[in-house]
Chain A
Amino acid sequence: TELRLSHQWSTSDVRHKVAQMVADEVAAADVDLEIKIFPSGSLFKAREQYNPLTRGQLDMTVFPLSYAGGQQPAYNLTLMPGLVKNHDHAARMNTSPFMEAIEAIQAEDDVMTLVHGYLAGGFAGVDKCITAPEDVEGLQTRAAGKAFEQMLAGAGASIASMASSEIYNAMQTGVLQAANTSSSSFVSYRIFEQVSCYTPAGDYALWFMYQPLLMNKSTFEDLTPEQQEALTAAAAKAEAFYLEEAKKEDADSVKVFEENGVEIDQMTEAEFNAWRAIAKETSYKNFVEEVPDGQKLLDMALAVE
C-alpha cells in the first residue's frame, strides 16, 4: 500500500524529518506500506491540505492545525497566546482531556493525529526589543496567527498580514517594524540581518503552535492490524524526536541571533502576565464568542498543569 504525505516545508526542516522518520520506520517494519512524501508544498499549498485530507484524497500531512480554524473554529485554541508555557507543558497538553476533545472534533472530519508536536516562537524588533505589550504600540507588526493578531492589535500595534517568507523584505524596505513567528522561521529567513533585538521562546513564551502529523482516519482503519501497529510504533518514536528537536530549535535560534550581533532580551513573568491579560480581553474573548462550547474548551486547556 502506498500513502501520500504532503507538507509545506523544505527537506531540512524538522517537520520534514519527523515525516521522514515515520516513513523510514514503517518501511523498515516491512509490512507492505510505503509513505511517499511531497515536501515544500509540491502537491498542495500549505492551507489547501486539510480538505483533501478530510476527503481521503490526501493520506497524511504535517499541518499547523490552526490553519483549518476557519472550518473547525475549535482548532484556534491550538495557537492561542499564553496557553502553553514551555515544551514540557506542551507535552502534557498532548495527553490531556483538552487534546482528547480536539481529537474528537478531528474525528468528525475523518481525521486523526499520529504524531503530536508543538513548535515555539518569539518576537523580533527592527529598532527595539519587543517584550512588553507597550513595546508594540504604533508599530507595523506581523503576527503568526489570528489570535496573536487580535492580541497585538489590542496592545496598540498595527497589523500587517504576510507570509513569514516576506518578513525579511518587508523589514528591509521599512513596511514592517516587528514580527512574531516560529524560531525556525526566524533563522531560515535570516531575520537576524534585519533586526536589532530578539525575544526568543524562553522560560516565558507566548507563542506555541500545534503542528501534528495528521492522517485520514478511514485510511488508517482500512490498513491491516500489522500496518497500523507499525505506523503507531513509528509515530511514537517520531514524537519523542519531535519534542527534543523543538526544544533544540529555540536554543539554536538564540545562538544564531547572538552570533550575528543581535541583542537578546527575555520576556519576564510580569510581561508575560501583561500580555496574557490583553489576550484574555481580545483573543480569548473572541474565541469564546465565536465557538459554541468555546468556554468549556478554553477551560480544559487552561486546566492543564
Chain B
Amino acid sequence: MDPLVLGLAVAVVTVLVLFSGISVAVGLLTVAAGFLIVFDGMRSLELMPEIFFAKLNDFALLAIPMFILMGASIASTRAGADLYEALERWLTRVPGGLVISNLGACALFSAMSGSSPATCAAIGKMGIPEMRKRGYPDGVAAGSIAAGGTLGILIPPSVTMIVYGIATETSIGRLFLAGVLPGMLLVGLFMLWSLYSTWRSGDGSILSTRRYSWRERLEIMPRVLPFLLIILGVLYAMYGGVATPSETAAVGALLCLVVAIIIYRLMEPSRLWVVLRDSTKESVMILFIIAAAGVFSYMLSSLFITQSIAGWIGGLDVNRWVLMAAINVFLLIAGFFLPPVAVILMAAPILMPILTTAGFDPIWFAVVLTINMEIGLISPPVGLNLYVINGIAPDIPLKTILVGSLPYVACMVVAIILLCMFPDIATWLPDAVMGPEI
C-alpha cells in the first residue's frame, strides 16, 4: 500500500480509537499494535515493550517529573496567593492591579513549574475567589487564570520544551531561553485584554486598587523572597556552568520542597503525600504518553509513513508562509484532542525536515508550537486547564470559563502572528546568552 494512503488510514483509525474514550496512551499503543500486526507481522509485537522502555531511557526526561514536583510542592502552599498579593501591593498605581497581579503571579510561577495545570491551580486557588470578591466578571477571573496557567509550558522551565528538545535534538537550554520573551509578550497581551474587558463590563471602579503603605509592602517580601531566590538559583545553575537543564530540575525540586516544608510548614505527612501524589500522578501520566507516542512513531517510521509525508509536503510547491499556516492549523486541531507531549512526539519527526528545508528555525518553531499547544489547553474537549479551573471554582459554569477563555485564545493567535512577523522575539535572547546557533 502507498505509505501516504496508509498514513491517512492511520490518522482516521487514531481519531476513531481516541474518540472511543480509551486513555490517550493506551489508544496510541492500540493503534501502533494494530498496524504493526497487519503490515509488519505478529512478531513485531515483541518489540513494543523494548521500544517503550527505550523511549524512556533518556536522561533529559528526568527533568519532567522534577519540574512537575517543583511546581506541585509550591502549589500546595499559600505561595501562589503570596505572589500575587506582593505584586498587588507593589503595583499600587496600576489600574486593575488585582488581575494584573494574578497574571504576573502566573508568569512568575511559570518560572518555577514545568507544567501548566500546576500553575493554574497554584494561582487560581486564591486568585479566582479574590477577583470575584472584588467584582471582576467571572469570565475574566476564570479566563485570565486558565490562560495565565498555560504560560507554565512557555516560560522556562517547560515540560513540552524538554520533549521537543529530545525529539528534535535541539538544545534544551536554548529552547528554554527562547520562551522567555514570547512569554512576557503573552502576559502583556493577557493583561491588556483583562483590563479592557473589565472596564467594558461597566464598573470601572473595580480597576482602581487600594493604596498600600510601605510597611505593608515590605512585610510581605520575606514570604516571596525564597521563591525569587529559587528562580535565580535555578537560572544560575542552568546557565552558569553548574548543571544541565535536567540536573537543574532536581535542584529546583529539592529547593522548592524544602522551602514548602520549612517556610510554609508543610510538615504533616498527609499533606506532603498530597504533593507527592499529585506530582506522581501527573508525571506518570505524561511519561506514559511519551513512551506510548514513541511506540506509535516507531510504527509510523517503520511503515515509512513519516518519511513519505515529509517527502510529500516537502515536494509541494507552496509559499513557506502558506506552509506555516497549514502546519499551525494542523497543530491546533491536534492540540484540541491530544496532550501537548503526544502532539510534539508524533509531529516533530514529520515536521522537522520540512521546516528546515523551508528555512524555518527549529528554536523559533518550538515557541510557535508551544503557543499552539497552550491554545489546546484552554479549549475543549481536552482542555486540561479548563477542568482545573472547574475544580477550583465549581460554581462558575464550564461554559462561562470557556467563553471567558476565548479572548485569551485570540491573544495567543496574535502572539503567533507577531512571532511570524518578528522571529527575533523568540531567537534574540538565546542567541544573546548562548551565542549564535550551531
Contacts and interface: CB of A to CB of B under 8 A. Distances in A.
B163 to A, nearest CB: 15
Contact of A52 (B47, B169, B438): B47
Interface of B: 43-44, 46-47, 50-51, 54, 57, 169, 171, 173, 239-244, 298, 301-302, 304, 306-307, 349, 434-435, 438
Contacts of A36: 304
Interface in A15-60: 36, 38, 42-45, 48, 51-52, 55, 57
A45 B47 contact: no
Given A38-B301, A42-B301, A57-B44, A172 B434 contact: yes
Interface in A37-96: 38, 42-45, 48, 51-52, 55, 57
Contacts of B169: 165
A173 B51 contact: no
Interface of A: 4, 36, 38, 42-45, 48, 51-52, 55, 57, 165-166, 168-170, 172-175, 189-190, 193
B435 A42 contact: no
Contacts of A4: 302
A175 B241 contact: yes
B50 A169 contact: no
A170 B241 CA distance: 7
Nearest to A169: B171
Contacts of A55: 46
Contact of B302 (A43, A169, A190, A193): A43
Contacts of B47: 52, 57
Contacts, number: 50
A175 B306 contact: no
Contacts of B171: 169
Q: Is the interface of B mostly helix, strand, loop or mixed?
A: helix
A193 B54 CA distance: 33
B244 A48 contact: no
Contacts of B298: 43-44
Nearest to B438: A190
B44 A42 contact: no
Contacts of A44: 51, 54, 298
Nearest to A56: B43
A43 B40 CA distance: 13
A36 B307 CA distance: 11
Contacts of B46: 55, 57
A190 B434 CA distance: 14
A251 B343 CA distance: 43
Contact of B306 (A42, A52, A172, A189): A42
A193 B438 CA distance: 10
A243 B349 CA distance: 32
A45 B307 CA distance: 16
Contact of A43 (B239, B241, B301): B301
A42 B300 CA distance: 10
B241 A189 contact: no
A180 to B, nearest CB: 19
A175 B243 contact: yes
Contacts of A172: 434-435
4 closest residue pairs by CB, A with B: A174-B241, A173-B241, A48-B54, A190-B438
A154 to B, nearest CB: 25
